[in-house]
Amino acid sequence: MGKASRHFDLRLLQILLFVTALSVGASGQIAGGLTETTRTDFGGNGYITGTVYYPSGTPVNYRMRLLLSSLTGGEVIATTDDSGKFVFSKLAIGTYTLAVEGEKDFEAVSQQVEIMRRGDVQNVNIRLTDRGRKADKAKAVNVENVKVPQNALDSYEAAVALSAKGDPKGAIVKLNLAIEQFPEFMLAHTELAAQYLRLNEFSKADESLKVALKLRPDAYEPLITRATLLFRTNRLDESEQYCRQALKARENSAVAYFYLGRIFQSTNRFEAAETQFRNAIKYGGPQMREAHRMLANMYIRLEDFKKALVELEAYLKLYPDAPDAEQLNGVARELRRLTAQK
């Protein structure tokens, strides 16, 4: 195999590890830079775009399964990208149901979306709820909010309810009311930032996080949320600083370790990236399956095909029904071939 051909093969393997179902073009611009889209072939030219968020308000950082269904067109399964974003294209006018289900750690959630005209673009954001942890979460919030007046708490809870229904703009109204009623309400400022992140309004999100961190400089929630925001806006040095501060607040934060791995991988600090991805897997378990995929990609870049194969197989074991499983099994076969040649 010639050098140029070998380089092409390696690059192709890297691309396949990141891409689920591709149709790169206008849809990438619609989704704010996302270059992955799932073609539904429902006979139209509409789009549904959006982001899936953890209960904390930060975008999910692994490929989460999504189901889009229509009474007349059947159903399509896809995943988010590693920033929680998704795009469905080629949608005809009609009513669709978008659902997240089958997740071990989160409650199933679904909502209806209307494509009302040709070329319509609907943005839908999904906020997950911890499975079986509602009581523990409420208890933690009550401890944090012990000095918060009841009217401000009521406004905050109303905002959380609106967020769960997919209404970030309504949640923002209620959160601003909660902050007006109690300006030192740190969790309300953090939640407000999360809602702005859902709308990709980064500057407003950052302003809210700065207020939250002024109130509680050592609070985990605003620290990790700002780390995520800074990564998404390519401010990697600052993101690294906030990841490290988040780890001081919560030393077993798998999310912080994962983003440190992403930062180091983006800046070609591969040994450091490997360590952080390993930590993410250690503390996050199956939820951090995307770290295995990132490691596989990194090892391909380093031409360590044996390690790449181990990580890819670990990912497929955790996610055997991944929408791009067929492609990934093809990558695994190619890695076995390359391993045998060495």
**Cα gap 138→236, rounded to integer Å:** 33
**Cα gap 54→127, rounded to integer Å:** 6
For each of the domains in the chain, give its residue range(s) and CATH number, in order of start: 1-19+252-342 (1.25.40.10), 22-127 (2.60.40.10), 133-217 (1.25.40.10)
Q: What is the pLDDT of residue 22?
A: 28
Q: What is the pLDDT of residue 141?
A: 41
DSSP state of 33: S
> How does pLDDT run along the chain (342 residues), one tens digit per residue?
444 444 445 554 554 454 332 222 223 333 333 334 455 667 777 888 888 888 877 788 778 888 888 766 677 887 887 778 888 888 888 788 888 877 777 888 888 888 877 777 777 888 888 776 543 443 334 345 547 788 888 888 888 777 767 788 999 999 999 999 999 999 899 989 988 988 889 999 999 999 999 999 998 889 998 998 999 899 999 999 999 999 999 888 888 999 999 999 999 999 999 999 999 999 888 778 889 999 999 998 898 999 999 999 999 998 887 767 888 888 899 899 888 876
Q: What is the pLDDT of residue 39?
A: 55
On the CB side of 159, CA atoms within 13 Å amount to: 28
Q: What is the pLDDT of residue 92?
A: 82
In this structure, which amino acid lies at residue 214?
Answer: K
pLDDT tens by residue, 118-174: 777 777 888 888 776 543 443 334 345 547 788 888 888 888 777 767 788 999 999
Provide the token pair at 245.
Answer: 């501060």
The CB density around residue 66, as the number of other CB atoms within 10 Å, is: 22
Task: Please give the share of the chain, as a percent, with pLDDT higher than 70.
Answer: 81
Provide the token pair at 131.
Answer: 């499975």
Angle in degrees, CA 239, 241, 247, rounded to 5? 105
Answer for the pair 16, 333: CB distance below 8 angstroms, yes or no. Answer: no
For the chain, percent helix, then strand, then coil, each to nearest 5? 55, 15, 30
Q: What is the pLDDT of residue 8?
A: 41
Q: What is the pLDDT of residue 205?
A: 94
Q: What is the pLDDT of residue 298?
A: 93
Q: What is the pLDDT of residue 269?
A: 96
Angle in degrees, CA 70, 76, 81, rounded to 5? 125
Angle in degrees, CA 266, 268, 271, rounded to 5? 115
Q: Is the pTM of this model over 0.95?
A: no
Q: What is the pLDDT of residue 164?
A: 67
On the CB side of 42, CA atoms within 13 Å amount to: 28
H helices present in 133-253, as ranges = 134-144, 150-164, 168-181, 186-198, 202-215, 220-232, 236-249
- Strands of 109-115's sheet, edge to edge? 74-79, 65-70, 94-100, 109-115
